[in-house]
Each structure stands twice: as structure tokens, then as C-alpha cells.
Amino acid sequence: MADVAAPLAQFVAGSRWQDLAPEVRAEAKRGFLNFAGCMLAGHREPELGLLREALPGEDALADAAAATALDYDDTHLRTVIHATPPVGAVVLALARKRPLPGTSLLHAFALGVEVSCRLGNAVTPGHYERGWHITSTAASLGRPSQPRNCWG
């Protein structure tokens, strides 16, 4: 596993927003806006109120659940990962605790979605056949090795 994790960690640690290709940055903006719109619409669902009551303070969980509530969240077609809700919700929760520039938020989001999709590509096909749900496994680990796999 170290052979796979080290290059991925090095890429993430060394990545800079301005080094991402313009089309990757544009997709990060589009993807985050899609996540935010889905999340805001989903928060109107009654079940989300129950979730917030049952688990107060779990903003990331509530936001990720809201973003998937109406089934309009992004899908990486090759793997069927819905990476934007879990990644976007965590990035947003972190930004609530420590304000950061918009480009930093978008950069973290782009890296998270990229890594989620790369991990999904590594385990597809066969992941579902073994009883795993790819969004809950690959998307929960999200960060990248080269920023074009999901975006380009």
C-alpha cells in the first residue's frame, strides 16, 4: 500500500491551485457549485431535520446527506462514484472552522474528488460485486495523483 500512497500523498502535498489546468479549475468551480445547490435544496427535506436533531453538530454528515437527498449530485460515470457530496461537505465543514480563501477551498475540493475517482478507478470493476458501495469507500478517502482523471 505504501507504493500507492506515497506518490499520491506527494502529489497532494505539492499541489498548488495555480498549477492545475484551467479546465480542471473550471470543473472544480462547477462541481462545488453543483454540490452547494444540491445541498441547499436537500436541506429542505424533512428527513434532514431529523438527522440534525439526532446528530447535532455533525455538519459534514448533514451537508453530504442533503447533497444526495434529491439525487442530482454529480456522478463519475466510469465508477459511479458520487464524490462531490462527501468531499464538498468535509471541505465546507473545515472552512466553517477555519476561514480560508475560495481558491484554497476549491483546490482542496478538486484534490479530494480527483483522489476519490482515482481510488474508484483502481477498484472498478468488481467493487460492487464484493458488496461494497464505492461512494462510501473510495470517496471517503478523497485526494489526487494527477488532476485530470475525473476532470479532463
**Which set of grid coordinates corresponds to residue 139?**
470517496
In-domain check, residue 82: yes
CATH code, 133: 1.10.4100.10
Is 86 domain-assigned? yes
97 domain-assigned: yes
Residue 148 within a domain? no
Q: Provide the residue range defining the domain that includes 51.
A: 2-12+20-141
On average, the pLDDT of the chain sits at 81
- pTM value is 0.81
What are the Cα distances from residue 143, in Å, to 38, 57, 69, 97?
22, 25, 24, 20
Establish if 75 belongs to a structural domain: yes
pLDDT digits (tens, 9 = 90+) for 77-99: 677 687 889 899 989 988 888 88
Note the pLDDT tens digit of each residue in 90-144: 899 888 888 889 999 999 999 998 888 888 877 777 766 776 666 666 665 553 3
Task: Give which of 92, 42, 71 is closest to 135, Cα–Cα.
Answer: 71
Closest CA to 151 of 119, 112, 110, 116: 110
Most confident of 12-26, 48-62, 79-93, 110-124: 12-26
Q: Is residue 147 part of a domain?
A: no
Residue 80 lies in a domain: yes
Spatial contact of 123 and 144, defined as CB atoms under 8 Å apart? no
Domain count along the chain: 1
